[in-house]
Amino acid sequence: SQQGEEDPQALSIQEGENATMNCSYKTSINNLQWYRQNSGRGLVHLILIRSNEREKHSGRLRVTLDTSKKSSSLLITASRAADTASYFCATPWNQGGKLIFGQGTELSVKP
């Protein structure tokens, strides 16, 4: 079953603009993770936010988590053409490490 759902499914912006992607999930979690996937490549872990955190930063990335609304957002500031990729949120299913991924947001940054 799909735990996380990203919104929008696709996003096209100009270089230098900010990109915001949202993720909603269904069950209680102890953390939420964001991954990036460049075309034809594997996934790369971007950031992990724990359930007791509300906001986390990493370079140009800002992630928020609202456990009351079961939602998270990923903000990429000052986007670059190299940020063009698909972005997935993922939540743990159990204590064993299994992750459930959403459908992803396809981001296109035009130079």
Partner 1 sequence: EAGVAQSPRYKIIEKRQSVAFWCNPISGHATLYWYQQILGQGPKLLIQFQNNGVVDDSQLPKDRFSAERLKGVDSTLKIQPAKLEDSAVYLCASSLVTVTGTGGGEQYFGPGTRLTVT
Residues that bind partner 1 in the complex, under the rule CB under 8 A: 2, 4, 29-31, 33, 35, 40-45, 48, 88, 90-104
Which one, 41 or 54, has the nearer CB to partner 1? 41
Which one, 15 or 47, has the nearer CB to partner 1? 47
Other beta carbons less than 10 A from residue 59's beta carbon: 9
Check if the beta carbon of residue 26 is closer than 8 Å to that of residue 108.
no
CB of 85 to partner 1, least distance (A): 13
Instruction: State the residue for tokens 């992990």.
Output: 48
Both structure tokens of 26: 């269904």
CB of 16 to partner 1, least distance (A): 28
Other beta carbons less than 10 A from residue 36's beta carbon: 21
Which one, 15 or 24, has the nearer CB to partner 1? 24
Strand runs labelled E in 1-111:
5-7, 10-14, 19-24, 31-37, 43-50, 55-58, 61-66, 71-76, 85-92, 99-101, 105-110
CB of 15 to partner 1, least distance (A): 25
Which one, 10 or 78, has the nearer CB to partner 1? 10
CB of 63 to partner 1, least distance (A): 14
